[in-house]
Chain A
Amino acid sequence: MAREITVTVNGTPHTLEVENRLLLVHLIREKINLTGTHIGCDTSNCGACTILLNGKSVKSCTILAVQANGKEIQTVEGLAAPGEMHPLQEGFKENHGLHCGFCTPGMLMRSVELLEDNPNPTEEEIRWGISGNLCRCTGYNNIVKAIQWASAKMRGEETPSTEPEFVS
């Protein structure tokens, strides 16, 4: 069973015929060839596939492509023009908020909505806000720092130091 759908991905409309059972994450990765969105589990626990669907962060492994018909999708590739960086991308780089990079696109897309809902979150709010996204490398300290840094930048405030802090 297949049907035709139209989705707008990072501003570009795509009309394609898809199987009813096709997952949105496979539509994005394999039909539209945007491989920045990753797959890390099969139970909706890891969040590596997080994208924005009509501006809301969702796990694209848990949604059928046909459910996205007529909707706006934003992926990590649409966060900034190639070679440029969204404040969150910059925040992750400046604060070493990524190691292997596999969870990073999902973490970024989740954080976009987090900061839209709450432009100045506390550490606690950030930790709860990203608790649907697993990172196995960073231990989360620097992801929290990265999001705080981006939040300051997006509010037009002075960004905190990005030097690592050590006890001495």
Chain B
Amino acid sequence: MIKCKTSKAISGMGHSMKRKEDARFLQGKGNYVDDIKLPGMLHMDIVRSPYAYAKIKSIDTSAALAIPGVIAVVTGKDLEQYNLHWMPTLMSDTQMVLPTDTVMYQAQEVAAVIATDRYTARDGKEAVVVEYEPMKPLMNAKKALDADAPVLRTDKEGKTDNHIWHWEAGDKEATEKVFNEAEVVVSQDMYIPRIHVVSIETCGCVADYSKVNNHLTMYMTTQAPHAIRTVIALVAGHVGLTEEKIRVISPDIGGGFGGKVPVYPGYVIAIAVSFLTGAPIKWIEDRTENLQADSFARDYHINVEMAGTKEGKILATRFKVLADHGYTDASANPSKFPTGLFSIGTGSYNYNTAYMEADAVYTNKPPGGVAYRCSFRVTEAVHAIERITDRFAFEVGIDPADLRMQNFIKKEDFPWKSPTGWEYDSGDYHAGLKLAMKTVDYWKLREEQKEKKAQGKLMGIGISTFTEIVGAGPSKDFDILGIKMFDSAEIRVHPTGKAIARFGTKSQGQGHETTYAQIIAEELGIPAENIQIEEGDTDTAPYGLGTYASRSTPTAGAAAAMAARKLRAKAKKIAAYLLEVSEDDLEWEPGKFFVKGAPEKVKTIQEIVFASYTNHPQGMEAGFEATHYYDPPNLTFPSGAYICVVDIDPETIEIKVRRFVAIDDCGNIINPMIVQGQVHGGLTQGIAPAMYEELIYDDAGNILNGTLMDYLVPTAIESPSWETGHTVTPSPHHPIGAKGVGESPTVGAPPAIANAIVDALSHLGVRHLDIPITPYKVWKVLQELKG
């Protein structure tokens, strides 16, 4: 279905090239952080708080230090001497590295034990005695702004409440006017729960400081090695660790999904201890620590409203958000966007009026608000708009597919200015939904549903037609801690025509070693097989902001194409010189320049590259290298049409996903096999929060499901056999017309599933269910409705 411009031997864009990185992973030769072993390496384990909110009265380390093999125990007081006990978050808030007097959430780091091996470190951790004075924690975000709520951030001078920030988008007055005059208004409260990425590899590092060279090599699980290097320099510059003395290496990463963007206290403690001792320090958190203390995602309380006509025309939407950030705002949004890109929530529909506001509060939960395969709050926004669209369709008595078709922005209306100010680059929403409906045989399913209903059986069909927003981002608006969100590529072609290319991004399973090679192969005609890709070493790769929020293809992928085009321009000059013709007389086809009308007068890219080292034109720079820092002119706007069919057992309330069809439009496709793999994985991380996953806390601040025994990550049994397809609407502003795909399915799937389940129960009076929609939740609602 995809036309390729290059042969399979070159394997440029559109080829389902098998992955170049697979061999090492399949043969047990990947190199993850915990695989790194350095001479003299010590191990670190972390003592954590059993309380969500407590004063630390004392920390007794004597028993721990008496254990043979325990080298040191580090507390907040120790770090305070070097002013390293607090650190900035990526949102310019502050976070404790280790506390000096108060703990703010359960599982917070309290002290670190350094020992000769990991078992002894764990023994030491068990032997540290901490005396606490527990306080009543603030666990309910809705009560955070009450007058009698405890003020949590007393460390901030003059802070008298738990409010973090207020944010608005759209036109408040115009929206009020439309709502006041509208024939139909629907409103829905919803909660998008706290969830966790659970990459199968947890977080960890080996901090290796050399006192001799005053140089730190930091091997760590990070999706953004360059940004981390800069952050380390900002935090530790005052003790002499300036940026040129820091090398961050992000080796193979066992899944990230956003959870490996933040700087966790463990990394900083490891650096501090290595700095003080001169020994390499390994810190690898266990799964329970990872699940309980590392950045969560979501935790948004949303009220969403839609106004429209009785005929089903959408006129306006209004969103009100309460964001629970835990005890610090440690999310990783671009500076100007505290709610990330939530303002995409006006959706795929043609109307001009919207207003959104959000307030963020502190609670005694772990910090974060980062990501779960969607970094910038698009999932929350899409869930709200797609749920309320279904509610509106139900209210006006129009089939949800028809209502969407009726309200979609038309293909010819792009670029389209959204009511919150985005310029959608391209899309064909009608084609996507049409294909999804044809694939499931939508109207036949509606017939079947009628019959089933008559027999007392429960069956539902749910649709989600979402617009994504990725590729952050244009430098005029997008930065993290002031660093603009461009990304980079550097290509070096060796004399024999084989290449190495390096990037500022970092794959965590996305297959960059293959797809970036394919982009360069497309542009230069050098076989992708002969192009080696490297990422994740700040000493060798050009600066970039890393891989998250589906930004790699839109930014670094574009940089690859642009750098390759610089090289092609140089190749043309060399070819003209070698063939003794003018550049205007040359024509390009993948892998060679030839003289127009005389195809036998030809120079292959390999011959041209060789000449650049052996016989380059006088006055031209020798060699064949190029670098490009790509600053995208706009974001990209992938879209999708998903349909989910569920059957619910009326007796047991078992919810079975019978079919799930996902039609994605991510623009031009670099590698269909890899894109499909991304969609499969993203859909599974869509069904997970829709039906299974939620981090639950009690009023005392205890996490109730903080291990993988009771936090339900879908297995192959829970995951349906996904059916996927594409429409292709290239991005007009992206050099290769690509848009990014990784997070789309995670964004689009939950509302399709929720809409399907509500659809199966709507005749019983169900209008909405918060995710995760578990059998128990459904059973309870049905009991209540029965009275």
Q: B27 to A80, Cβ gap below 8 A? A: yes
Q: A93 to B26, Cβ gap below 8 A? A: yes
Q: B26 to A89, Cβ gap below 8 A? A: yes
Within 8 A of A (CB), among B574-632: none
Please, what's the 1-or-0 string for B186-205, where 1 marks a CB less than 8 Å from any CB in chain A? 00000000000111111000
Nearest chain B CB to A166's CB is how many angstroms away? 5
In the complex, identify which listed stretch (B487-495, B716-724, B756-764) lies at the interface while the others stay far away.
Answer: B716-724
B555 at the interface (CB under 8 A from A): no
Please, what's the 1-or-0 string for B712-749, where 1 marks a CB less than 8 Å from any CB in chain A? 01011101011111100000000000000000000000
Q: A38 to B201, Cβ gap below 8 A? A: yes
Partner of A46, one of B25, B287, B435: B287
Q: B28 to A42, Cβ gap below 8 A? A: no
A79 to B28, CA, bound (A): 10
A168 at the interface (CB under 8 A from B): yes
A143 at the interface (CB under 8 A from B): yes
Please, what's the 1-or-0 string for B243-277, where 1 marks a CB less than 8 Å from any CB in chain A? 00000000011111100000000000000000000
Partner of B680, one of A21, A22, A45, A142: A142
Q: A100 to B508, Cβ gap below 8 A? A: yes
Known: A104-B26, A105-B28. Contact between A42 and B288, CB under 8 A? yes
Nearest chain B CB to A3's CB is how many angstroms away? 15
Partner of A92, one of B26, B256, B286: B26
Q: B255 to A100, Cβ gap below 8 A? A: yes
A164 to B722, CA, bound (A): 12
B134 at the interface (CB under 8 A from A): no
Partner of B683, one of A139, A166, A168: A139
Nearest chain B CB to A31's CB is how many angstroms away? 11
In the complex, identify which listed stretch (B13-21, B50-58, B155-163, B377-385) lies at the interface while the others stay far away.
Answer: B13-21
Number of interface residues of A (CB under 8 A): 66
Known: A99-B677, A102-B200. Contact between A141 and B722, CB under 8 A? yes
A13 at the interface (CB under 8 A from B): no
A119 at the interface (CB under 8 A from B): no
A101 at the interface (CB under 8 A from B): yes
Nearest chain A CB to B76's CB is how many angstroms away? 26
Known: A130-B716, A138-B681, A140-B719. Contact between A36 and B29, CB under 8 A? yes
Partner of B676, one of A33, A93, A166: A166
Residues of A within 8 A of B25 (CB): 98, 100-101, 104
Residues of B within 8 A of A29 (CB): 34-35
Nearest chain B CB to A158's CB is how many angstroms away? 19
Q: A164 to B672, Cβ gap below 8 A? A: yes
Residues of A within 8 A of B510 (CB): 99
Nearest chain B CB to A151's CB is how many angstroms away? 15
Nearest chain B CB to A98's CB is how many angstroms away? 6
A40 to B672, CA, bound (A): 29
Within 8 A of A (CB), among B285-300: 286-288
Please, what's the 1-or-0 string for A71-102, where 1 marks a CB less than 8 Å from any CB in chain B? 00001110110110100010011101011111
Nearest chain A CB to B358's CB is how many angstroms away? 29
B709 at the interface (CB under 8 A from A): yes
Within 8 A of A (CB), among B431-457: 435, 439
Q: B23 to A93, Cβ gap below 8 A? A: yes
Within 8 A of A (CB), among B137-184: none
Q: A89 to B27, Cβ gap below 8 A? A: yes
Residues of A within 8 A of B21 (CB): 101
A34 at the interface (CB under 8 A from B): yes
Known: A40-B287, A89-B26, A93-B19. Contact between A101 and B713, CB under 8 A? no
Residues of B within 8 A of A69 (CB): none
Residues of B within 8 A of A140 (CB): 680, 684, 715-716, 719
Known: A42-B288, A45-B708. Contact between A136 and B35, CB under 8 A? no
Nearest chain B CB to A22's CB is how many angstroms away? 7
Q: A123 to B721, Cβ gap below 8 A? A: yes
Partner of A100, one of B199, B672, B679, B725: B199
Nearest chain B CB to A40's CB is how many angstroms away? 4
Partner of A131, one of B19, B439, B717, B725: B717
Partner of A99, one of B198, B509, B723: B509
Residues of A within 8 A of B785 (CB): none
A137 to B34, CA, bound (A): 20
Known: A41-B287, A104-B26, A140-B716. Contact between A166 and B1, CB under 8 A? yes
Q: A136 to B199, Cβ gap below 8 A? A: yes
Q: B725 to A168, Cβ gap below 8 A? A: yes
Nearest residue (CB) in B for A90 is: B26
Q: B717 to A100, Cβ gap below 8 A? A: no
Q: B682 to A75, Cβ gap below 8 A? A: no
Q: A43 to B709, Cβ gap below 8 A? A: yes
Q: A22 to B119, Cβ gap below 8 A? A: yes
A58 at the interface (CB under 8 A from B): no
Residues of A within 8 A of B27 (CB): 36, 76-77, 79-80, 82-83, 85, 89
Q: A102 to B255, Cβ gap below 8 A? A: yes
B707 at the interface (CB under 8 A from A): yes
A112 at the interface (CB under 8 A from B): no
Known: A101-B509, A167-B439. Contact between A126 and B716, CB under 8 A? yes
A37 at the interface (CB under 8 A from B): yes
A93 to B508, CA, bound (A): 17
A157 at the interface (CB under 8 A from B): no
Nearest residue (CB) in B for A126 is: B716
Q: A96 to B673, Cβ gap below 8 A? A: yes
Residues of B within 8 A of A135 (CB): 200, 716
- 23 interchain pairs, CB-CB under 8 A: A29-B34, A46-B287, A77-B27, A79-B27, A80-B27, A82-B27, A98-B509, A100-B255, A100-B256, A102-B30, A103-B200, A133-B715, A134-B198, A136-B198, A136-B199, A136-B255, A136-B685, A140-B719, A141-B719, A142-B680, A166-B676, A166-B724, A167-B723
With A38-B34, A138-B684, A163-B16 known, 16 other A-B pairs at CB within 8 A are A35-B34, A41-B286, A79-B27, A93-B18, A99-B255, A99-B511, A104-B25, A131-B716, A136-B200, A139-B681, A139-B719, A140-B684, A140-B715, A141-B680, A167-B724, A167-B725
Question: Which B residues are closer than 8 A to A by beta carbons?
Answer: 1, 16, 18-19, 21-30, 32, 34-35, 37, 118-119, 197-202, 252-257, 286-288, 435, 439, 508-511, 661, 663, 672-674, 676-677, 679-685, 707-709, 713, 715-717, 719, 721-726
